[in-house]
Amino acid sequence: MHITEGVLAWPVLAAGAAVAAGGAALALKRLEEDRIPQAGILAAGFFVASLVHVPIGPSNVHLVMNGLLGLLLGWTAFPAILVGLILQAALFQFGGFTTLGVNTVIMAAPAVTVHYLFRAGVRSDNRTLSLVSSFLCGAAAVLMGSLLVAASLVFTGEAFLGVARLVVVAHLPVTVIEGVITAFCVVFLKRVKPEILEVLHAR
């Protein structure tokens, strides 16, 4: 899901950088002190998740974990993913520094979106509803990310539908796996550490 350097045109890069910087600044301002360690741990999880490869399907893809991150962090997903991507670019040579902004938006915007879309469902006491919402939260975040990749590639002259199909199909196994992982994490957290999910009730 990382777009490499030298692929995108500069207006796309600039727009991505602006949105990413704005989102991160906004989120950091609103970030409460006692949730900073949690954001750090999730950023670290995101950083490492990219090393877990899913050897199914036509392409070479890895876990993203932006759904779980968004669900638990909301807007803080922006700085968390930005930090994770900086380190991935610096240490793993994934993506690149010029594409940092675009890649942040590609993964963080869906994260924030699923937070607001599914948090009501996830916190529900109805077990089935909560489970289904958690699954959709993880899956939808990857799906939206794939569509954003396709959208940013459109401006380089590739046909949207063609690329979108390619990226979505390539990430299909990851989409399902992340849905399952997210559902599993929510069930686990509800049982073991429900206070982490308190964020779902806030604001």
Question: Does 87 sit near other proteins (CB under 8 A)?
Answer: yes
Question: Does 36 sit near other proteins (CB under 8 A)?
Answer: yes
Question: Does 14 sit near other proteins (CB under 8 A)?
Answer: no
As to burial, measured by CB atoms within 10 angstroms (0-12 exposed, 13-18 middle, 19+ buried), residue 124 is middle
Question: Does 126 sit near other proteins (CB under 8 A)?
Answer: no
**Residue selected from 66, 88, 175, 182 as contacting other proteins according to rule CB under 8 A:** 88
Min dist CB 45 to other proteins, Å, is 9
Q: Which is nearer to other proteins, 17 or 44 (CB)?
A: 44
By CB under 8 A, what part of segment 148-187 binds other proteins?
149, 152-153, 163, 166-167, 170
Point out which residues bind other proteins (CB under 8 A).
2-8, 33, 36-37, 39-40, 43-44, 47-48, 50-53, 55, 59-62, 83-84, 87-88, 91-94, 149, 152-153, 163, 166-167, 170
